[in-house]
Each structure stands twice: as structure tokens, then as C-alpha cells.
Amino acid sequence: MSVIQEFKEFAIKGNVIDLAVGVIIGAAFGKIVDSVVTDLIMPVIGAVVGKLDFSSLFWVLGEVPHGATRTLDSLRKAGVPVLAYGNFITVAVNFAILAFIIFLMVKQINRLKKAQSQPPVVPAITPEDVVLLREIRDSLKRD
């Protein structure tokens, strides 16, 4: 079997196509959730708590050239090594919010799937002989 034939069989399998669709939808969904975090949630949190952008926090690890401003972008452009721990904190906070939003959405989807997949409970039909035996039992109790 040639490599092309093997690849064709691999690519046509359903789970490979499902995975590709999932990755594409996941990338698009990630952009939507990132926009929700960046454009909707973080401004509200920033207004309530105060400025929540830590990206300006950094430590300079080398010599700062004369005349360079002490901002993260200008120091990086000048080639000065900096430890930008503020960017890490901002990304970690964004990730935590993003993960929580995705958790809530998956939880809701699972709840909807569960509600949709459960058929209504129909009481079992009692066999006729059991009904007759119950009637006999009940009539004997009265006597």
C-alpha cells in the first residue's frame, strides 16, 4: 500500500474530520471568548478594582542605554534584558477568567444535553395477575 493511499484512508476517517472541525471551531471560539474577556469583563473589573493591567511591571536586568525611556517597549527595542513579570500576571489573570467562562459554558451544554437525552419516565404497566393478587389481598384484609 502506498503512502498516498494510507494517508487517504487516514484523512477520510470520521474522527480525523471531527478533530479538524473541532480545532477550527475551537480557534474561532477562542477568539470570541478572548474578546469577551478583553473587551467586556476586564474593563468592568478594572473599573471596580482599579487598573488591572500589570503589563507595566518589570525588572531591568541589564544596563539601560543613555537616553532610553524606562518603558517596557523601549527597553526591549533597545535590547535591554528585562524580566516582564507583569505581562505574565496579566496573561495568567486572563487565562483564569477565560477558563472559568469556558467551564460555565461546558457545564451549561452538558446540562442541556442531559435534559435533552433523558426520555420522560413512563410508569411500568403492572401485569394483570399482579393486579388480581393485590385485589385478593386487599379483600382478605377487609374480612
Q: Decide: 80 and 63 in contact? Cβ < 8 Å.
A: yes
Return the amino acid letter for 92.
Answer: A
Q: Which residue reads 524606562 in cell numbers?
A: 70
Q: Is the pTM of this model over 0.85?
A: no
Q: Would you kindly state where each structural domain of the chain is located, as residue ranges?
A: 1-43, 53-120
Q: What is the dihedral of CA 50, 76, 93, 98, to 10 degrees?
A: 120
Q: Which residue has the higher pLDDT, 47 or 111?
A: 111
> pLDDT by residue (tens digit) across 52-81?
667 778 898 888 888 778 888 888 888 889
Q: Which residue has the higher pLDDT, 143 or 72?
A: 72
Task: Name the grid cell of 101.
Answer: 467562562
Distances in whole angstroms, Cα of residue 29 to Cα of each of 123, 129, 136, 138, 140: 43, 59, 65, 64, 69
Closest by alpha carbon to 34, among 112, 78, 99?
99
> pLDDT by residue (tens digit) across 76-132?
888 889 898 888 887 887 788 878 888 888 899 888 888 777 777 778 888 999 999
Going by pLDDT thresholds of 50, 70 and 90, the confidence category of residue 137 is very high
